[in-house]
């Protein structure tokens, strides 16, 4: 009951009030500019016809749930990682496996291809992100050249090289994101702001500058300045964990997929959510989202084993794709937009076009 | 939800544990940071949704023809569509 405690409590209460006031002001400012809905603006745009998209390749070889995948810039190679600790590099055209590495941990939740195509990064329950240079010699043991880059204090949920092989961005169950120098393993910048596990991240298209977006179990999607570590914008409209975030190809918006069974589109210049992609009949969470090259289509992989294809402008579903026999856990459109790949808890990956 | 998802080795278990730990941090330092961050976010410049939406739409339209999944590129140009392996010249 020291007299010093009273001012401290007052200040805390003061700050809480100020934070509530600021939050309301933020909502007010955003609402002032909410003069129309995206789908209303898009009324005059021609509707999309029927889509014929089928599984064109099935990649079999993982012994357990596929958790993550990424395309190589050469538009044909793919890296995937699985619950059983295996990381495989495939040629998606021929379905041949080119490399395989066994990680020392299970649940390899994140994997990424280096921009040069010469290395892959991966990690998961080991709390690390490791880089494996890919050898041209198929007999060489990849694990021998492994380089430990990132160290978090909880599981690694996502990783991505920046626009070179030299830096990696990671997100973790420890609630932070971090930027690392691959060569030295040095932490270059850390990003604090999420109140719970960060589950996903995506880098802005290189033309739009040094920012990235992350999504977490705190239902927030945060946009960060990579150089300063500052959170520039924050969006909290989802009703549950955000499992996936992906930039719109122009860099002016991003989509998110959540356990609340919806995908949403947030415009960065309007600083608000501008579309929700949902249906009463869709009740299972979205694990992964990605856009087609023009940004007109949004593909979502769901926990009910399906892929829903959405018309981004009109907000309607244009197609539903079946094929996987368990949850779709990961989904990426190829670099040239000719196909997209999905990975599933049914142990397979599928290429759709 | 199957029990497998709550097993200690799964990320779902870690997620729930982390949520318990992280809620309720109301220290003075933390609150100051929250207020600072909110002040920053409140101060950014915004455009009207009508303008932002028009720009998103414009981008879609301008790039529509270069979007193979949208236009449904024929088998001869999409390397994935033919069932057999293509021969590239």
Cα–Cα dist B46/A269, whole Å: 6
Q: Name which CATH class applies to A50-352.
A: mainly beta
Q: What is the dihedral of CA A251, A257, A258, A259, to 10 degrees?
A: -170
List chain A residues with CB under 8 Å of B72.
51-52
Number of domains in chain B: 1
List chain A residues with CB under 8 Å of B57.
41-42, 45, 313
CB pairs under 8 A between A and B: 207
Q: A28: distance to nearest CA of chain B, Å?
A: 10
- Residue B32 within a domain: yes
Check pLDDT > 70 for residue B76.
no
Nearest to A267 among B14, B52, B68 (CB): B52
In terms of Cα–Cα distance, which of A80, A71, A63, A78 is closest to A329?
A: A80
Contact A11 B64 (CB under 8 A): no
pTM for the model stands at 0.91
Determine the structural domain holding residue B39 and report its residue range. Answer: 2-57
Model confidence band, residue B2 (pLDDT cutoffs 50, 70, 90): very low
Give pLDDT tens digits for A150-205. 999 999 999 999 989 999 999 999 999 999 999 999 999 999 999 999 999 999 99
- Residue B24 within a domain: yes
- Residue B10 within a domain: yes
Residue A232 vs residues A42, A55, A129, A214, A227: alpha-carbon distances, Å? 28, 40, 26, 12, 12
Contact B56 A253 (CB under 8 A): yes
Residue A33 vs residues A21, A43, B50, B51, B52: alpha-carbon distances, Å? 19, 20, 8, 10, 10
Q: Where are the domains of chain A?
A: 50-352
Q: List phi, psi (to 5°) of A292.
A: -75, 170
List chain B residues with CB under 8 Å of A26.
38, 41-42
Instruction: State the DSSP H helix or E strand holding residue A42, giving kind and residue range, or none if neither.
Output: none
- Residue B78 within a domain: no
- Residue B74 within a domain: no
Give pLDDT tens digits for B3-48. 344 455 577 766 766 665 555 555 888 888 889 999 998 888 999 9
């Amino acid at each position: 009951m020291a007299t010093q405690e009273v001012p401290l409590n007052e200040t805390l209460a003061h700050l809480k009030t100020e934070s509530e006031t600021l939050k309301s002001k933020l909502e007010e400012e955003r609402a002032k500019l909410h003069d129309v809905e995206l789908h209303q603006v898009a009324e005059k745009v021609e509707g999309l016809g029927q889509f014929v998209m089928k599984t064109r390749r099935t990649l079999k070889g993982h012994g357990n749930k596929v958790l993550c995948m990424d395309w190589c810039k050469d538009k044909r190679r793919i890296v995937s990682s699985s619950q059983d600790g295996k990381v495989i590099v495939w040629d998606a055209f021929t379905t041949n496996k080119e490399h395989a590495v066994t990680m020392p941990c299970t649940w390899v939740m994140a994997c990424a291809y280096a921009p040069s195509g010469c290395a892959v990064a991966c990690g998961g329950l080991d709390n690390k992100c490791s880089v494996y240079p890919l050898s041209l010699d198929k007999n060489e043991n990849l694990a021998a050249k492994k380089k430990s880059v990132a160290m978090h204090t909880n599981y690694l949920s996502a990783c991505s090289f920046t626009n070179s092989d030299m830096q990696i961005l990671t997100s973790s169950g420890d609630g932070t994101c971090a930027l690392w120098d691959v060569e030295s393993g040095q932490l270059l910048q850390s990003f604090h702001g999420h109140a719970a596990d960060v589950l996903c991240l995506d880098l802005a298209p290189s033309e739009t500058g040094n920012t990235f977006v992350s999504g977490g179990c705190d239902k927030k999607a945060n946009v960060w300045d990579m150089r300063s570590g500052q959170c520039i914008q924050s969006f909290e409209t989802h009703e549950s964990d955000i499992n996936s975030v992906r930039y719109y190809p122009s860099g002016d918006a991003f989509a998110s997929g959540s356990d609340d069974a919806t995908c949403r589109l947030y415009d960065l210049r309007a600083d608000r959510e501008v579309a929700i992609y949902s249906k009463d009949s869709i009740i299972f969470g979205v694990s992964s989202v990605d856009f087609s090259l023009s940004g007109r289509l949004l593909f979502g992989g769901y926990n009910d084993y399906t892929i829903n294809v959405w018309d981004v402008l009109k907000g309607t579903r244009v197609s539903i794709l079946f094929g996987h026999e368990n949850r779709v856990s990961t989904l990426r459109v190829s670099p040239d937009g000719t196909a997209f790949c999905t990975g599933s808890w049914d142990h397979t990956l599928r290429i759709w076009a | 939800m199957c029990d497998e998802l709550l097993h200690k080795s799964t990320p779902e278990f870690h997620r729930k544990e982390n949520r318990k730990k992280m809620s309720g941090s109301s220290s003075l330092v933390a609150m100051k940071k929250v207020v600072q961050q909110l002040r920053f976010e409140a101060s950014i410049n915004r455009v009207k949704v009508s303008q932002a939406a028009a720009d998103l739409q414009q981008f879609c339209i301008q790039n529509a023809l270069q979007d193979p999944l949208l236009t449904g590129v024929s088998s001869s140009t999409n390397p994935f569509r033919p069932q057999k392996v293509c021969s590239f010249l």
